[in-house]
Structure 1
């Protein structure tokens, strides 16, 4: 049985998930994601390394950190996730520099409790004061589990990503983009994947899905998302959306 329940409060999104035979495709988020494994074992590839989160494991994903995910075995998996806009996490932790979580999985009961308390508040539509209080408690506890850093990613890759983002609402032309960097199309694909863990097309498609998600959250209109990001039709968006979020864009809109 696979069940995915999303709820959003301001700049925080929460997910309650049960998985048995579902596998996330390789993707990334523009947000920070912090989750707790409640039952079973969650397995995923993160930065080329195989990770296993057992019961009680607190999982950390930095923005644009590529990963996939599935249950480790047939017993299935239950977990909860929180997704934070980067600006919100900086506000809550009172940090001015970007935050980088350096450990992918931590086993800490207090941290796990704070993540789940906030997730439950969002999932059960608690009022804003309760959500804010639980966010502060979590933020205070997070300070020992991250480092501040200056973005170190190759500036060329960052420019390549920015160029791809310019085309999220139309067709991706790799021949044209690769020429701007003095590379053939195939050199561009190999270089991009070696640096980011995904192909340019995967990055482009993930960006379109993420853009569609934001429209759905703001406008509650799946057809606007289809048109704005040039999906073939709603079926195409639903199919791609489910690979990343576990549910269709239609169902996601209903949750929001």
Structure 2
């Protein structure tokens, strides 16, 4: 891996490597010289480490500076950007985890929130070790499940979550039925009324519970799953216009607006960076870690 990184740095280009997506998580390693991402937000937890340099980002109205040894924990639907804090650029690894996976471990508790987006707590650093290993190291399914459970427990402990007396509990099973319905209907019109019928919950209670349990609204969750499908189809070689239509977007421009707003980077630039990482790995005679999501 170090040989590949050295070759890429010498080429003077930003790059992104992606591990094979599996089981509701996405793992990346990337290097940026200057600006990485514009202000954006996504519906997953973004948890990672800076491996080299200074990784600066705006988060909850403050500028944060991540250096090696720090664990970054960005909550779903919290706006943030990313840029190099020094002229040397920065390299980092990140894992994106669906809140639903944490819910399976937390049993319907409110999602943990780590204040400030960064932590020096050794419990979090240890709990992320398995998920943030080198991108070219595949995760065994049981290893991944264990790591997610340990991370959920560490997040809950570090966040200091406490039960709130008198607060009505959310209906996890109804919200989960609605979430599964969304996955099965990406290319179809989906309304809150339809989700309410599928879940057996009134629509306003469902909307509130969905946000509490999965960190985002039903509509935004649907949009994100459609964007996930676009990324998978695009990395398989489908034109962006075709991928947009297959994922249920009105047209390519509609998809592009959501893509850029979500990840702070246009879909065409994202694809070019993936291709650069893959081509550089091929030249080096080693695996790049690039694969379809």
TM-score, with structure 1 as normaliser: 0.65
Cα displacement (A) at 1:145? 1.7
| Aligned ranges 1:34-45 → 2 under 5 Å | 34-45=47-58
CA–CA separation in structure 1 for the residues paired with 2:222 and 2:40? 12
Matched, 1:56 2:64: no
CA–CA separation in structure 1 for the residues paired with 2:52 and 2:15? 14
Quick check: 1:121–1:131 contact (8 Å CA) kept in 2? Answer: no
The structure with the greater share of residues assigned to strand is: 1
Residues 94-122 of structure 1: CA deviation (Å, up to 9, x unaligned)? 45223322232112345224313213377
What is the match of residue 243 of structure 2? 225
Stretches of structure 2 lacking an aligned partner (at least 5 in a row) = 1-12, 165-186, 188-219, 276-289
What is the match of residue 201 of structure 1? none
What is the match of residue 138 of structure 2? 125
Quick check: 2:15–2:32 contact (8 Å CA) kept in 1? Answer: yes
TM-score, with structure 2 as normaliser: 0.57
CA RMSD of aligned residues (A): 3.7
Cα displacement (A) at 1:78? 1.1
Q: Given the superposition, is the C-alpha separation of residues 242 and 67 from structure 1 closer, same or farther in structure 2, using an over 3 Å criterion?
A: closer
Deviates more, 1:96-105 or 1:37-46: 96-105
Cα displacement (A) at 1:58? 0.8
Q: Given the superposition, is the C-alpha separation of residues 110 and 145 from structure 1 closer, same or farther in structure 2, using an over 3 Å criterion?
A: closer
Residues 142-190 of structure 1: CA deviation (Å, up to 9, x unaligned)? 232225489xxxxxxxxxxxxxxxxxx9xxxxxxxxxxxxxxxxxxxxx
Stretches of structure 1 lacking an aligned partner (at least 5 in a row) = 151-168, 170-205
Quick check: 2:121–2:158 contact (8 Å CA) kept in 1? Answer: no
Quick check: 1:40–1:75 contact (8 Å CA) kept in 2? Answer: yes
Cα displacement (A) at 1:127? 1.9
Matched, 1:6 2:18: yes
RCO higher in structure (CA 8 A, sep ≥6): 2
Quick check: 1:24–1:244 contact (8 Å CA) kept in 2? Answer: no
SS of alignment partner, residue 105 of structure 2? helix
Quick check: 1:41–1:53 contact (8 Å CA) kept in 2? Answer: yes
Q: How many residues of Structure 1 are paired with residues of Structure 2 in the alignment?
A: 203
